[in-house]
Amino acid sequence: MAIVKNLSRTLSQLLQSPGCGCQTSIVPVRCIGVSPRQVNSDASFHSVSFSETDHPRVLITGGLGQLGVGLAKLLRKRFGKNNVILSDIRKPPDHVFYNGPFIYSDILDYKNLREIVVNNRITWLFHYSALLSAVGEANVPLARAVNITGLHNILDIAAEHSLRLFVPSTIGAFGPTSPRNPTPDLCIQRPRTIYGVSKVHAELMGEYYHYRYGLDFRCLRYPGIISADSQPGGGTTDYAVQIFHDAIKNGKFQCNLRSDTRLPMMYIDDCLKATLDVMEAPAASLSMRTYNISAMSFSPEELVQEVKKHIPELQVTYNVDAVRQAIADSWPMNFDDSNARRDWGWKHDFDLSELVTTMFNILGSDSRVAQIN
């Protein structure tokens, strides 16, 4: 015991009286918590196998929104489950949490974002965190913070760590002075929503970072996206999702846009396919960094007529929401996506009839299962 005490006393003296004659600074070391969802039990921090480096390491922000879960499923099938990490500030449902890596990530927390990118060796980043059109108009300060400040954090981290970055844009990036039928890739953009303004800002900042810092920035302007896997999230085009849920549930649907409001639309499978296609496209094939993509264009009345082929007794009323209608009236009626089709071979699979049939096949089956249970 005497030996131990002497060693302890000697060590204490060394720490208090450094040989260099300067003050000793004891720097606290903060341990970064690692979620068991982030790291496999057999992970090696010293070497990476060839099979792991074969594929990109992907992070999806805002992953619990309309597109994130579906994109993760597609990418995991292609690149391996553990190479694709979903993130959000919300608690994921069980079927999402147990289907692959999920971590908490606040895009307004710059330091936390950097830790995630570094700790998980991220190489591709899909930035889906955003407040949509109608929700953004109801809370402009929050939309400004999430859609613009959050984007700046993402751009800086992506440039610093040489990531390939995808940021979705929208039909909302155009305004009432833009040509509407069709709307080309390059034209006047003067949107009148904070959502649209933030997306124009994202397009321009992404292109600037590409030319100034060499950031591999890629962007698609999405039309309205229709999916059976998620509930409407506050977008102006969400009526085209809500109609299916209401038709199956009670045979009645109230539309918040005029019956003749024509907007470009797309089934989610086409949207996800286009997103992966543009990310995998050789950089040399891209003549621009932001592309329009489209599949179809229809009005609420045309959608109703197609839905009635499946549910003839559907009752439809129109109760126009002034805010959403004004937004829709400033958006394109048709997208010109000829550049995407030429540069990297974009081609859609679903037209209106196939979209409606697919939605009823999925939601109808789910409804029957629920009734049985």
Helix (DSSP H) and strand (DSSP E) numbers for the chain? 15, 13
The reported pLDDT for the residue numbered 333 is 96
The reported pLDDT for the residue numbered 234 is 65
Q: Which segments of 256-351 does DSSP mark as H helices, in order? A: 268-280, 300-307, 322-329, 338-343
132 pLDDT tier (thresholds 50, 70, 90): confident
Q: Which domains does the chain have, with CATH numbers?
A: 18-227+265-297+333-350 (3.40.50.720)
Q: CA–CA separation, 210 vs 204, rounded Å?
A: 10
> Helix (H, G, I), strand (E, B), or coil: what is residue 66?
coil
The reported pLDDT for the residue numbered 366 is 53
Token couple for 94:
């069980």
Model confidence at 272: pLDDT above 70: yes
Q: Look at the block and give the residue holding tokens 């060693």.
A: 7
Amino acid identity of 287?
A: S
**For all residues of the chain together, what is the average pLDDT?**
85
From the CB of residue 159, how many other CB atoms can be counted at a distance below 10 Å?
18
Range with lowest mean pLDDT among 46-50, 164-168, 322-326: 46-50
Full-model pTM: 0.81
What are the DSSP E strand ranges found in 7-114?
58-61, 84-88, 102-104
233 pLDDT tier (thresholds 50, 70, 90): low
65 pLDDT tier (thresholds 50, 70, 90): confident
What are the DSSP E strand ranges found in the chain?
58-61, 84-88, 102-104, 124-127, 164-166, 169-170, 216-222, 224-226, 252-255, 263-267, 290-292, 296-298, 315-318
Active site (catalytic) residues: 195
pLDDT, tens digit, 9 for 90 and up, residues 194-225: 999 999 999 999 999 999 999 999 999 999 99
Range with lowest mean pLDDT among 10-14, 41-45, 194-198, 226-230: 41-45
Report the share of the chain in percent with pLDDT over 90.
Answer: 75
Model confidence at 88: pLDDT above 80: yes
Question: Mean of the pLDDT values across residues 281-296?
Answer: 97
Cα torsion for 11, 12, 13, 14, to the nearest 10°? 50
Model confidence at 47: pLDDT above 70: no
